[in-house]
Amino acid sequence: MIPPNHPRYRSLLERERLVEGFREGYVVPQGLIAQGRGECFDYLLGEETQQFALEAITAAAAALLLAKHPVISVNGNVAALTPREVVELSEAVPALIEVNLFYRSREREDKIAEVLKRHGAKSVLGVGDDASCTIPELFSERRRVSCEGIYKADVVLVPLEDGDRTQALRRLGKTVIAIDLNPLSRTAQAASITIVDNITRAMPRLVDAVRRMKNASREELENVLKNYDNKRVLASALLHISKRIEELAKNIRES
Ligand code: PTJ
């Protein structure tokens, strides 16, 4: 039991959720390592949603609302950390939900679909034979996708992704929205819109942004995207980390 006044309460709770997912068999051990890598960047970012992430969230909401065929891709870590928000987002947009795994197994697909359904999902693509289309030039198990989902999608939200697939999806002409705490990851660099934030903070904000912008005109949404520059957003994230480290060093020197 983690005491709520523990200074790292939130972060420890997230770890517990992943460990629980691991024990239930739908989070892979590599997912625990990925979370640790993310935590390190979250520490450097200040463990708060920053302005550059809010800007990317607004652009992501606009892209999802403008999409003809938007899909939310879910892996083990996403199912453990934000299952409710995935379902809320899929209803608010509306968008399809697809299980897509790097370390694919039928058992994990079933378990992740079950977690999502427990949180209200009516339908989950990408399970078993449904993942019968292939993304060309991709060699991980992520290449197998649903013909009705990611294969057909024009906009794909890929929280916690690996770089190869982001690049492959971009080559197919899709708009890729990534959520990644590491602004230097290949995913962050290759995505069309990169939300540099923890998915546990970014997903609820993305749901709110979609609900808030739902009645905006097409022209307004298109303007949001026209004025969005992912390179500038990634550069802001790096400058934020660098400034923060300088301030922390100054505080230590003067303490
Ligand atoms: O469930 P599977 O089989 O699809 O596998 C999922 C993992 C996450 C193991 C797989 O996609 C993987 O190996 O991912 P990577 O290449 O380790 O990339 C994960 C990225 O997510 C890294 O850049 C981390 O910094 C970032 N990350 C980790 N935890 C979070 C995060 N970003 C946002 N929020 C987090 N909580």
Q: Is residue 170 part of a domain?
A: yes
Chain position carrying tokens 């289309």: 133
CATH number of the domain enclosing 151: 3.40.50.12640
Q: Is residue 171 part of a domain?
A: yes
Q: State how far the Cα of 193 lies from the Cα of 53, in Å rounded to an integer.
A: 10
Give the pLDDT band of residue 12 (cuts 50, 70, 90).
confident
Q: Is residue 126 part of a domain?
A: yes
* Strand-pair category, 155-159 with 70-74: parallel
pLDDT for residue 140: 74
Q: Is residue 154 part of a domain?
A: yes
Contact, 68 vs 174, CB < 8 A? no
Chain position carrying tokens 């019968």: 132
pLDDT for residue 122: 97
Contact, 98 vs 151, CB < 8 A? no
Ligand 1 atom closest to the CA of 199, numbered from 1: 34
Distance 6 CA to ligand 1 centre (A): 25
Give the residue, 255 or 19, on which the prediction is more confident: 19
Which tokens belong to 204? 């609820």
Could you read off the pLDDT of 110-166 as tens digits, one per residue? Answer: 999 999 999 999 999 999 999 999 988 767 777 899 999 999 999 999 998 877 888
For the chain, the domain total comes to 1
198 Cβ closer than 6 Å to some ligand 1 atom: yes
Name the nearest CA neighbour of 180 among 189, 191, 190, 188: 188
DSSP state of 216: S
199 Cβ closer than 6 Å to some ligand 1 atom: yes
Q: Is residue 216 part of a domain?
A: yes
44 Cβ closer than 6 Å to some ligand 1 atom: no
Q: What percent of the chain has pLDDT over 70?
A: 99
Ligand 1 atom closest to the CA of 197, numbered from 1: 33
Q: Is 114 exposed, middle or buried (0-12, 13-18, 19+ CB in 10 A)?
A: middle
Q: State how far the Cα of 160 lies from the Cα of 171, in Å rounded to an integer.
A: 19
Q: Is residue 31 part of a domain?
A: no
Q: Is residue 30 part of a domain?
A: no
Q: Is residue 249 part of a domain?
A: no
pLDDT for residue 35: 95
Question: How many Cβ atoms sit within 10 Å of the Cβ of residue 151?
Answer: 21
pLDDT for residue 66: 98
Element spanning 157, H or E: strand 155-159
Could you read off the pLDDT of 42-97 as tens digits, one per residue? Answer: 999 999 999 999 999 999 999 999 999 999 999 999 999 999 999 999 999 999 99
Q: What is the extent of the structural domain holding 61?
A: 51-237
